[in-house]
Structure 1
């Protein structure tokens, strides 16, 4: 797995023609589809319900910090049915979904329900996701929309070599089949509504949207210096089998702070592990990259 020197730009994988003000927008595959009148919904009390809701840890392999997934509707209506998978039926409300009528009204008033399969809220605070590709487990990807309900400017998404911000109420079609990640701030717990629809190519008809008045917010990051990159790789000197999972977070942080490709995170991580001289750790680092962005089976769990 190599996402560094073979990519345009450099080891950091930055295309030569990329600029935060210009070319980055044309290269961003995720799309802002609409803006919802979210201020017309009184959701503050429902946010508190989500904040207090327990999370079962189904996606802990991908997450670092306080990140959780909360299911409002799925194929069964069961609270215990929390691991995403496509299904052929219509969605059913879970007990949590029944406690959040305002958020569900936001869904039903603006989105078609015939293809909608899952409604979830992702909560993140001082958290980061491993760069990953969704839907590797299934033959056909679906359509995933995200709508931030509570956020701040410090909460960011990335896709390939681009970092960008989703504003509150913006409806984004996430390009899930390229490596992407998110990072949240420590102060504001981000709540993002996630809607999964069957079918990857059919458009989603959104109703009652309002005009988008602000340009898409791309985040400009400085180039990494050789010294910074060597320092990052030198972290591997402190690796051990017990700490290598927690050490991974700083490699993703580097991607958000310096111009780099999300997938290059795994090259750096594997190289840092290799520099320890421990072949088993290098193999584990390589296997984690494969699991996150190349290949994994339905229900497969990554064991550190």
Structure 2
């Protein structure tokens, strides 16, 4: 009986493998975007699923679909590109986003780490390895999947403040509010505070726990953020700790050597390599850094 079961499992595996190998490239691309596409509905009752955008260019190994659904206007976008190796096998690279859950992911049908350059961090975005960044990723890898050709532009971007992605690397390939979130609604109000202080030294005083040195005008601004309401911080210490975390992120951000990279596709190895390096991020002050970065907040 055990031998029969093993044979049946093996037969089922081979059958499924053969079924996949007989699928056209277009069918395989559509399979990849199915998680996003399956959310769309026939909202005008014309017998067709409604979406906002579709670029189906399977002959070039490219497919993009985006759309929304009731009732909150949640939407998703899924883009996939097919990269062929010397044996004719495809590596499918996908970028997918969901706005209501703050979900972002770059993935592949193979381990993405084996698809990307081994030194994409240490010799790509940075000039040296980044350590002591904590237990959460600070950045995520964004990607522009090409419709034509195989040169692929990638960039290193900041994960929105308030979203936590546990990682053993400073850069993650995905994040979502379902991972871990600082559910502190006033976190975004730190940007308003940093922007509105009358004395820029106030920011340093907060970072150094020298609240007694802050002028009366700025003390009033801070007092408005402290309290028991959900829209407030519990104490000056809690407010200061969040600002210190942002300062640490800012210091690591300043170590970026190249904000963008152009990756070439090595057909022989079936993986990307660093082809070109872009410039450093634009110089920015800590105040500008805090006020211009995105903050997590409930969408629906």
- What is the TM-score when the length of structure 2 is the normalising length? 0.23
- Which protein is bigger by CA-based radius of gyration? 2
Q: Which has the higher contact order (CA 8 A, sep 6+)?
A: 1
Higher helix share: 2
- What is the TM-score when the length of structure 1 is the normalising length? 0.23
